[in-house]
Structure 1
Amino acid sequence: MPDTLPPAHRAREELVANLMAVPAVIGLVLAVLAFFQRGSGITGTAGAGLAILGMVALSIAALLVGRLSPGRFRTFVAVMILIGGLLTLICAWFLMQGWLMLAIALTLALWLIFILVAR
């Protein structure tokens, strides 16, 4: 499918997607620190590893969705960001990692802005 969006609209979508990736990468750093930091209470646990995998997926998807042309695959990636974000948020809640939950909530808030911009 050819790209039919005007350059200004395309740039706005990519900017919001890049902004969505910022809290996702911060959350990834927080999840890695919690996994390796002694005394965090979740050092080396499978749940912390799951949070790392979720944040890696959110970071990659956030960077990818802004560069895709409108269509089915971009819609699929956008929906997967929502599902992955919610599931990783639940994981962070069970791990009692407040800063990680905040990073995921910011990612999801920027996801909503992306959806509104991409109309």
Structure 2
Amino acid sequence: MLTDIALKRLKPKDKMYKVADRDGMYAAVSPTGQIAFRYDYRTNGRRETVTLGRYGNGGLTLAEARDRCLAARKMVAAGKSPAQEKQREKRRLSGTASFGDQGKRWLKEAKMAD
């Protein structure tokens, strides 16, 4: 299980590596030294990962990351994919439609030759 002291002592390596916490959450340490909290889960028979946030100045604390992990676990228990919900929310906030949505709109609005 991770602690703030253990997180501060993590050093970058040549490749990204993971340090497990609990309940499927882990800290991913990049070669640049950035630490991101991630959560691995299974939904619809496939493994997925959602990034909960970054650790450090301006980022999440370990307690906040665990709270987000708990919320993501509840979503998985309800049959939802936290990663897909996060993508939907990003698209909603940015106002851009997915490729599939754009394709449907084009098919609906396109004028076909006779």
TM-score by length of 1: 0.27
The structure with the greater share of residues assigned to strand is 2
Higher relative contact order at CA 8 Å, sep ≥6: structure 1 or structure 2?
A: 1
Please identify the structure whose Cα radius of gyration is greater.
Answer: 2
- Specify which structure has the higher proportion of helix: 1
